Structure 1
Amino acid sequence: MLVIDEIVNDETAVSAPEKWQVGIDLGTADIQTVVVDGDGEPIAAFLDWADVVRDGVVVDYVGACRLVREQLAKVERKLGVTVERAVTSYPPGTDPRISINVVESAGIEVSDVVDEPCSVAALLEITDGAVVDVGGGTTGTAIIAEGQLVASEDEPSGGRHVSLTIAGGLGVSIEEAEQHKRCSQDDPMVAAMAKPVVEKMADIVAGHIQAHQPSNIYLTGGGTLIAGFSDVFRRAFPHITIVELSKALYLTPLAIASYGLSGKGDK
């Protein structure tokens, strides 16, 4: 996990290990393909910022299919392999076939499909707590108790909603607002604009966990990188430990790929 941000979009050829697994994450703000070796270490990763999925629904099917094919072609060139199968994911509460159809359009088999926060919980071996995955369009929560999935829910509110708020506040395009959002750590005004949207996300999570009250909430997904995100959650949940996960932007696709190592997605 420590090296994944160093190899993103690096097409330098390397030798493929004996065992490897591909994971494909169709996000609202980006599409990512990650390959891990048999020990779960990332060996290839490709990311394209794209507006092809909204609130768990593919709104640009042709564009999504094209990006997946292009990323898989890069994987094959980098590793000198032929990709025949991959694991993919879906936001909780949406139809897994949406993601499956896009991946299968690239001519490969979907060996397994998992909801996004559950994949992160499995990777981190979380046995008790709530994993909150904030993507570009949705906020998903997986509640784990005694090693078992208790509930998994998802609602439309994510990084894109922050971008829309920034675009309105600054009077700029959504594309320029995205750039401001990614620099929110350096701009207190942008962080202040984002705060009400993050508070809405906290309200969503409060509804998700109301019947369970976990002792820990684990934050992941690119949406959690917004300045002040964890502080809002700490104020909203003063009696729950808020855990910020490193490499949040890449953690979900890494978890998706790793999910296949012990399941049907084995290479």
Structure 2
Amino acid sequence: MTTYLEQANQNLLIIDEIVNDETASTAPDTWFIGIDLGTADIQTVVIDGEGTPVAAFLDWADVVRDGVVVDYVGACRIVRAQLAKVQQKFGILVEEAITSYPPGTDPRISINVVESAGIIVSHVIDEPCSVAALLHIENGAVVDVGGGTTGTAIIENGQLVSSLDEPSGGRHVSLAIAGGLGIDMEEAEQQKRRSHEDPLIAAMAKPVIEKMSDIVEGHIAEHQPGIIYLTGGGTLIAGFAQTFRKTFPALEVVELTRALYLTPLAIASYGLTLKGKE
């Protein structure tokens, strides 16, 4: 029997294969669209009624900082362009989508950007909680490391009991690399994405990752979940999971394939969860 974790990993691999593919295709009978406004990128994922990804679009962008849109016009432009690609690919009219927000920030920020594209936000959910719903987590912690923030959702007996977020993410790793090498942020971002190939870059990232693990240690101190699920593009930095396993030796630390796409997949999949409750 395929577990929810295995199914999520399979769907993440599908997204990796189809991301930014604009080839015309037949629209599924039922679809759900998730839009993720990240610090380092903006993503739109479309799933069919079975939860299988059928389209995905990603644009690297520096329009959001720590859950706050710093380039509103730029963010709106990217969302409109991605939705236009969805409509053209399937020959459909997109009328609504689901979006998310980092815990502790105002969800209206994401809603306003998405609705600027002329569609309705049917639902909004905080990022780590969307992942918890996708993986059907009964007990555990979801750690979502984006470009600017580290968020932790604590799930106990299938219920959210805590959702916290602090400003430390992939961008802070890039700042450390930029300072250490004397390069600009754009080049530092490129170097960060090659961290698995360069031990020097991995070494520069380690102190920032350790800080993130300290943040999560504080988030879960009163709960001590048995499992930590890592998600978000920030968790792809070399040595990330190893650092967390060292900080939490008594806990199971679970990685997912292509975690960069997990949050937008989870946002889109939230539509299936809601449909099941109807």
Pair in the same fold by TM > 0.5 = yes
1 CA distance for matches of 2:14 and 2:126? Answer: 24
The offset of 1:246, in angstroms, is 1.5
TM-score, normalised on structure 1? 0.98
Aligned equivalent of 1:50 = 61
* 1:251 matched to 2:262: yes
Where in structure 2 are the equivalents of 1:160-175 lying within 5 Å?
160-175=171-186
The offset of 1:252, in angstroms, is 0.5
Unaligned runs of 5+ in 2: 1-10
2 CA distance for matches of 1:156 and 1:43? Answer: 33
2 CA distance for matches of 1:34 and 1:241? Answer: 29
Query: Secondary structure of 1:141's partner?
Result: strand
TM-score, normalised on structure 2? 0.94
Unaligned runs of 5+ in 1: none
Task: Deviation per CA, 1:7-39: give whole Å up to 9, x if none.
Answer: 000000110010001100000000000000001
* 1:89 matched to 2:100: yes
1 CA distance for matches of 2:256 and 2:266? Answer: 12
1 CA distance for matches of 2:150 and 2:110? Answer: 17
| Runs of 4 or more consecutive aligned structure 1 residues displaced over 3 Å after TM superposition | none
Match among 172, 194, 207 for residue 183 of structure 1: 194
**Does structure 2 conserve the Cα–Cα contact (< 8 Å) formed by 1:87 and 1:265?**
no
1 CA distance for matches of 2:166 and 2:273? Answer: 29
1 CA distance for matches of 2:275 and 2:253? Answer: 32
* 1:28 matched to 2:39: yes
**Does structure 2 conserve the Cα–Cα contact (< 8 Å) formed by 1:34 and 1:257?**
yes
Aligned equivalent of 2:166 = 155
Where in structure 2 are the equivalents of 1:84-233 lying within 5 Å?
84-233=95-244
**Does structure 2 conserve the Cα–Cα contact (< 8 Å) formed by 1:86 and 1:265?**
no
2 CA distance for matches of 1:257 and 1:8? Answer: 15
Task: Deviation per CA, 1:171-218: give whole Å up to 9, x if none.
Answer: 111000000000100000000000000000001101100110000000
1 CA distance for matches of 2:95 and 2:172? Answer: 36
